Amino acid sequence: MRFLAPFTGVPALEIVPIMEQAKSPLRDGAALAFALFFPTVLSLVAFVVLDEPEQRANPALLTAFSVGKCVQFLFPILYVWWFYRAEIRLARPNRAGLLLGGGFGLLVGVAMFALYFAWVRHIPAVAEKTPQMIYDRLRQFGEHDVERGQVMLDMMRAMRQREIFRYAQDDRRGIAIGPRSSRALRSMSAVQ
């Protein structure tokens, strides 16, 4: 497919298909559906079905999670290698591609942090239940991971304490805090 530059008639862009038309659309569709939905099923099994918060180490959870992650990441590689090996071509990175990839990564990273700090961290379920759920999950993966999880929980609590201290200082200085900040302050102090 060619795109002509305006007013000149000179080809400005030519799009060349990298892969041929799908040889088996049904097979490729089934593989794509598996790759899309398997992580959801794996999360459901690992975090809902096999959840036993009272148990110290859960070998069934560890086995299911490890095998599931191997399947999740090896399936696309093996599928493409098996069915589309001849069409794989590595190209040298160019400046435009690196800028596009880096810009996209930066945009997604900024959007994730903005979404978390503007909305997600103020959700009561996230602020109240998540630290304990992380701790329970680490404990179920094995006792040696609990110390690392405890360090992470302590860091999260320290960040909340710093925010509570900052809000208290602003309140003493007479700086008004809005309803969203007030709600966040209440949810943070409830976790302590």
pLDDT at 136 (0 to 100): 76
**Could you tell me if 133 and 64 lie in one domain?**
no
Q: Is 104 contained in some domain?
A: no
pLDDT band at 163 (very low <50, low <70, confident <90, very high): low
Looking at residues 36-44, what average pLDDT do you find? 92
**Could you tell me if 127 and 83 lie in one domain?**
no
pLDDT band at 143 (very low <50, low <70, confident <90, very high): low
> Helix 25-44 crosses helix 59-83 at what angle (to 10 degrees)?
160
Q: Is 190 contained in some domain?
A: yes
**Could you tell me if 136 and 59 lie in one domain?**
no
**Could you tell me if 22 and 84 lie in one domain?**
yes
pLDDT higher than threshold 50 for residue 185: no
pLDDT higher than threshold 70 for residue 40: yes
pLDDT at 100 (0 to 100): 93
36, 65, 90 - which closes a domain: 90
Better-scored residue on pLDDT, 22 or 146: 22
Give the span between the Cα atoms of 65 and 43, in whole angstroms: 8
Number of domains in the chain: 2
33, 68, 90 - which closes a domain: 90
Task: Kindly give, in sequence order, each residue whose CB lies less than 8 Å from that of residue 23, ignoring residues fewer than 6 positions away.
Answer: 83
**Could you tell me if 10 and 85 lie in one domain?**
yes
Count CB-CB contacts under 10 A for residue 137: 18
Give the span between the Cα atoms of 152 and 159, in whole angstroms: 11
H/E segment holding residue 11: strand 11-14
pLDDT higher than threshold 60 for residue 177: no
Domain that holds residue 33: 1-90
Count CB-CB contacts under 10 A for residue 58: 20
Percent of the chain with pLDDT over 90: 28
Give the span between the Cα atoms of 189 and 161, in whole angstroms: 8
**Could you tell me if 129 and 85 lie in one domain?**
no
Q: Is 70 contained in some domain?
A: yes
SS3 4: strand
Q: For residue 192, what are the CA distances in angstroms to 72, 89, 134, 159, 179?
A: 37, 54, 16, 11, 20
39, 70, 90 - which closes a domain: 90
**Could you tell me if 73 and 131 lie in one domain?**
no
- pTM for the structure as a whole: 0.52
Q: For residue 118, what are the CA distances in angstroms to 2, 96, 97, 170?
A: 44, 32, 31, 19
pLDDT higher than threshold 50 for residue 33: yes
